[in-house]
Structure 1
């Protein structure tokens, strides 16, 4: 029930104070939609790909490692890549042992980041669900603390701190477009705004986890395909975020792999920003016209990750 959720603006604000010494306050880049061949209007980009470890996930990672008692066995996480890199980074900073399970679909760039932060890296299965199952077994055997990528109170509270920053930096914002995988990001942000801002979920057509959940009325299994599968393709959205999304997020917008690629190319061409596919997914909804703002609507787009190798758009 939404009334029972501990993910509230007050708790998010407390979490922001807890993790503030360890995270970057990422900037807003304000542009004109005409720069991208769209109908003139304001577009702000929250450059969260500049966060430590290359994605927003560092917020939730620090919220967990600072807000929960960590055993001597350290921490363990299952990840498509970004969450694992974030947990590995936070553990390195705090002097905590970390073991990260990833699926074979994880990009080499993300795997190298995890190794570079000193965590033990284990490849388990082909998809995130396989890595998650392996991490559960590790917890039972070793007694390490599991840090869930999206279905954990501290994780959602950490991701919700992005909302604090956007609120302060774009006080007249009307709409925020957010990419969705497991839903920890949009769940935390929607819990912060609580309907004061229209929060639009954007998902790849190949992994419509929240879209399927909205249709069913509860989290259900969805396909895990497409070019953003290493960051936006869990088996299903989290139980914690779903009632928050039902109450405070819009019906998800689905975008194709081609539209995501076009968004990546446009971000590079016009802003010299390189994002991974998942990081460009929210912008793909705007660029493709799948989300069409009203005249004078003040829109912001969350660019959530950039853990990729250098890409050439010809």
Structure 2
């Protein structure tokens, strides 16, 4: 029942977009019995998702009333994946959210296992300590793609310029920042994030100290390929070129909290554009001929954090196999 290398009604569902949202949504649909093709403009390793830090934690995503449930559903899935870190890229790692209190967070925070007030020895100010999923994104994206193929899904590198022209009964739009032009939806805007990866001087825990309203923040995540330092959140900045001055400032901010970072050898500079929106859009739209378009984009800085909860909701709008 496959439509061959091209498109066609027998394709059943075409998911457009190959980042963590597109992959997870395609996987949920395939494992629910739908015939799925995922069309991606570029390999997952070159998407914004591959640049992510990527610590499970809601960050720069709305609406707050829905984010908690999406995030908690995803947390449970990642906790299970952490049993096989080498394959899935997911590990449960201890760390501290500096300058953070429970009463500043939504009710979801009380349902996060192991999250508690940090001791003075763990952080010099107000903070929360947690054991949370830390995800090695290149490994994780590759694992999601293989799991999708194992479920019968097909991954193709294709560029879509018109969602309504995709010849399938159901189209799911997971194009992230691309939705700004493709839908078009001017509410989708870039929030630029720059990171520096250094040789890890022996740090085994993560730390964040983030003002969600500020353009600069401090965080570091110990990943297998090095210590990831951040960061920035520059709204409406489309530049993908690392700024040397910004990189220097990132290292300095992190070294102020852990002095051993100052002398660490720089391995890599990364830049990604978060697809921000006033609210995540998960919405069903009718297309001519009785076809369905499901929009699923606008996850800001928390695509990894909410991927499974949001994918399940989007898949619910698609419905079960005929």
TM-score w.r.t. the length of structure 2 is: 0.31
| Structure with the bigger percentage of strand | 2
Higher relative contact order (CA 8 A, sep 6+): 2
TM-score w.r.t. the length of structure 1 is: 0.32
